[in-house]
Homo-oligomer: A and B are copies of this chain.
């Protein structure tokens, strides 16, 4: 498997565009369209929030048939909590895109991200979609990525190519998200494309499996949003024979998809609002899968852990404390904690560790924290980031 240039338009038969329609106050791009040359099989994973954005609702309906030709996404407005009009607006976004691209309206998927509770400026959206649809190109992947960004500071794109059933196939992806991020998927949108030929059922299954341990293991602030989705289109343009069973070739495909999703998920954590550090929290030795998740989740969400790491302070007591209230079953007298490769707590008791070494580890841009519960055989992992002054700044004035 090789990393290649580009993002969602790296796979054959995909075009994209990103336009500025005026939804964003700063005049940046805000309408993205990604299209496949032919109808693709489609899969999606959606927010678990009870409140769901109107665009997301339309997409959940449209994806039911398992096929799609295009995805249209606006940033700058979440199109959520505005009543029936919001649903109609999302429908219109799909209808207009379908008309321009000459496909069925139910084969267009819609996404929105931004402020909640404000109606979409539909004249702007319409004009943005019209322009985008005329400018679709195989070089348009990056523009589409730019158009889905909100408080993101770095573009999140990647593409890989690998051999599958004796053909070269590609998977490309883009994502946005830097605040209101938490398992499971908060204010994050991911779009994955591939020219592999794969069955609907297996595409759906592998996407759900992979998302669980990648996009759904990113936490910025513990808040999950109402507009989050990962969508994937597979158009078969690579002409491989077709992945129809869970054989070795399927596993190869899954590995490549995992690589793409892991790359994008880590970038989201790294680009967390105000973040200065990417933190990987790893819990080993939990009694079961649920306990592993509870423990890793509590540590990743703890503002006290996140501010300590921002301050480069090896305050491991806060890590143990978070595991303590996580609800996971464990014996505090067995717990080992590592900051990087430095053991700071053995069997629940403080070690007289080298503070200078700890400081050096905490000065890095990427920090790994490992917690061994020594109770069972289950592990889990979350990527998160530190909590800085800038997080407060960005979120104290997002809407105004």
Contact = CB atoms under 8 A, between A and B. Distances in A.
Given A301-B222, A317-B116, A398 B308 contact: yes
Given A117-B350, A223-B318, A325-B48, A395 B82 contact: no
A324 B226 CA distance: 8
Contacts of A179: 304
Contact of A302 (B222, B226, B387, B388): B222
Interface of A: 48-52, 78, 80-83, 115-119, 179-180, 182, 186, 221-226, 301-304, 307-308, 310-318, 320-325, 330, 332, 345, 348-350, 387-389, 391-400
Given A51-B332, A78-B317, A311-B396, 14 more contacts: A51-B321, A51-B348, A81-B348, A81-B349, A186-B325, A221-B303, A222-B301, A223-B302, A223-B303, A303-B387, A303-B395, A311-B397, A313-B396, A315-B399
Contacts of A317: 78, 80-81, 115-117, 399
B389 A393 contact: yes
Nearest to A221: B303
Nearest to A386: B396
Contacts of A397: 311, 313
A385 to B, nearest CB: 12
A72 to B, nearest CB: 22
A225 B225 CA distance: 28
